[in-house]
Amino acid sequence: METGVAYFGNRILRHAQADLDDMVAHNCTYVVHTFSEEDQRYYARTMGAIVKATQAAGMKAWIDPWGVGGVFGGEAFSFYAARFPQRQQVLSTGETLPIVCPNWPEFRAAMREWVDAALSTGADVLFWDEPHFAIPTWFDWYTGASDAWACHCIACQYLYRERFGEELPTVIDAGVRAFRQERLLDFLADITGYAASQGGRNALCLLPLADDDRHGLPWHAAAALPNVHIFGTDPYWFFTNLTPEEHVGQQTARAVELCRYIGKPTQIWVQAFKVPDGREDEIATAIEIAAAGGAEYIAAWGYDGCGHISSIASARPEVVWDTIGRAYRRVRDA
């Protein structure tokens, strides 16, 4: 059983060292460090030092393309999307969003540069978090059509025409949904394959959506990619009307069953951000459900209840963090 936490928002080594010691005291065995485009550009050597400090503290260091291209999850802006607006994703309505389309060969080349930089830190695992085409409702400023979807850029139009011999529709249907899934799987196969060729180990986290959801990606096809070594999901129940027993329990069972079938370990993320006052015990319940359900890796997003990032901070971050530490001890001692 490996127990971890996401870490971001600090690039000062002496403060990171104190936080790493705190993570060890809270029974963590690995840390998922974010590595945004800003980090790649300005903090690469610093991140190498933080990774080494993580390993010296006795924990594994994972590294996450936080918000890179806007294609992966994370509260980080994309330099690439701003620099190359012609490669941004286009909605079915014709509007553009500040997210890069993963079908552009130039972006895939940029992702290989990210992989090289990430591996140069000495990280143990590359963590591919929530790869997706744009979901317009995730942008709080978006006021367009609720049924708009991405991507309808010229690269997608060309590839769809090559694949199906007809023009890419503006109304999503089964063919468009299959095309989008195929293209994301191709993107993941490309970047995980390159990472593996450079000696990297890959973990993949997909949103807990049904395979036929317009924003979903088939779990089996993604988890079975030959260079995905760890597969998981993030059933954040505070965004639903479900209890941890229902949401975390169901998604853990689904992920573990799949991973056992294909012979890979499972990772389950528990929500440690935007935790309402008085509901902190639900985090311990979620951790215990994931552990009892057979997940080999559990992780919390993020460190110290995300108290430092005010937009998603928990109501009582110190209580959240202490709850995680105690729950981790229990499941590790079980």
pLDDT (tens, 9 = 90+) of the chain, 334 residues, equals 999 999 999 999 999 999 999 999 999 999 999 999 999 999 999 999 999 999 999 999 999 999 999 999 999 999 999 999 999 999 999 999 999 999 999 999 999 999 999 999 999 999 999 999 999 988 888 888 888 999 999 999 999 999 999 999 999 999 999 999 999 999 999 999 999 999 999 999 999 988 777 788 999 999 999 999 999 999 999 999 999 999 999 999 999 999 999 999 999 999 999 999 999 999 999 999 999 999 999 999 999 999 999 999 999 999 999 999 999 999 999 8
Q: Are 48 and 36 in contact (CB under 8 A)?
A: no
One-letter amino acid identity for 85?
A: P
Closest C-alpha to 128, from 3, 217, 23, 250: 217
Cα separation of 235 and 251, whole Å? 7
* Contact predicate 24/59, CB 8 Å: yes
Parse the chain into domains and list their residue ranges: 2-77+106-132+203-333
pTM over 0.85: yes
Q: By three-state DSSP, how is residue 124 classified? A: coil
Half-sphere exposure of 70 (CA within 13 A, CB side): 25
Which CATH fold topology does 2-77+106-132+203-333 show?
A: TIM Barrel (3.20.20)
Q: Side-chain half-sphere of 287: how many Cα atoms within 13 Å?
A: 31
Please name the helix (run of DSSP H) or strand (run of DSSP E) that holds residue 261, with its range, or none.
helix 244-262
- Segments in 10-138 forming alpha helices (H): 13-25, 37-42, 44-56, 79-83, 105-120
Question: For position 23, what pLDDT does the model report?
Answer: 98
How far, in Å, CA of 28 to CA of 154, rounded?
A: 45
Q: At 306, phi and psi to the nearest 5? A: 55, 30
